[in-house]
Amino acid sequence: MAIRYPNGKKVDFLNQLSSNVNYGNRGMTLEDDLNLTNAFYREQGICLVHKKPTPVQIVNVDYPKRSAAKITEAYFKKPSTTDYNGVYRGHYIDFEAKETKNKTSLPLQNFHEHQVTHMEQVKAHQGISFIIVKFADDQSPYLLDADLVIAFWKDQQKGGRKSIPKKMIVTNGQPISIGLNPRLDYIKAIDRLYF
């Protein structure tokens, strides 16, 4: 059974829910899952979270047909901060989504310094800042408070580890359940960790 979301995206839920589905090949990324989840949360009035657009400067466009344009060259205008932001229960939330094929840790090279600085600034202003990380090998998503990411980042700059061990994420993070609606119920993880 295929269902179309209001944005036109078609999802075949029966195949996704089948017990013999190989989730490693299901074709959805963490970002796709979060976008579906955020659309569900908005429609249900649970929270208001959007993906931040990445500012891009378009340099060159080809017009192969009169009705179609193809961007052939573009540059990032400035470094973006984190992937998502919004409001939940009267609190500002801001988070980064990371997916890794690494089975034992989340490499810190997946982050940029300006992202870590931004998370630190959000926390300094009493905002809720975290990352959602998904390990591709077992499809396990976790919500991890930004304080731990910031601490590992600073330690790395002093010669420490260049990754956050998966064991540390499992111990200190909140597991996120995978379902139909919402796809990744990270709000329950926020409630457990912050409320």
Question: For residues 147 and 192, what is the distance between their CA atoms, to the nearest angstrom?
Answer: 16
Closest Cα to residue 81, out of 90, 94, 68? 94
For the residues 149-177, what does the mean pLDDT come to?
97
Domain of 117 in residue numbering reads as 2-53+79-194
SS3 92: strand
Beta-carbon neighbour count of residue 110 at 10 Å? 16
Mean pLDDT for the chain overall: 87
The pLDDT score that the predictor gives to residue 74 is 80
Question: For residues 17 and 38, what is the distance between their CA atoms, to the nearest angstrom?
Answer: 20
Query: Is residue 11 one of the residues assigned to a domain?
Result: yes
The pLDDT score that the predictor gives to residue 176 is 97
Query: What's the number of domains the chain is made of?
Result: 1
pTM above 0.85, yes or no: no
Query: Is residue 9 one of the residues assigned to a domain?
Result: yes
Reported as a pLDDT band with limits 50, 70 and 90, residue 66 is confident
The pLDDT score that the predictor gives to residue 64 is 81
For the residues 62-81, what does the mean pLDDT come to?
78
Query: Is residue 66 one of the residues assigned to a domain?
Result: no
Is the confidence at residue 130, as pLDDT, over 70?
A: yes
The pLDDT score that the predictor gives to residue 78 is 66
Query: Is residue 68 one of the residues assigned to a domain?
Result: no
The pLDDT score that the predictor gives to residue 90 is 97
Query: Is residue 61 one of the residues assigned to a domain?
Result: no
Q: State the CATH number of the domain containing residue 147.
A: 3.40.1350.10
Query: Is residue 67 one of the residues assigned to a domain?
Result: no
The pLDDT score that the predictor gives to residue 24 is 40
Query: Is residue 23 one of the residues assigned to a domain?
Result: yes
For the residues 112-134, what does the mean pLDDT come to?
97
The pLDDT score that the predictor gives to residue 57 is 79
* Percentage of residues of the chain with pLDDT beyond 70: 84
Query: Is residue 59 one of the residues assigned to a domain?
Result: no
Is the confidence at residue 113, as pLDDT, over 80?
A: yes
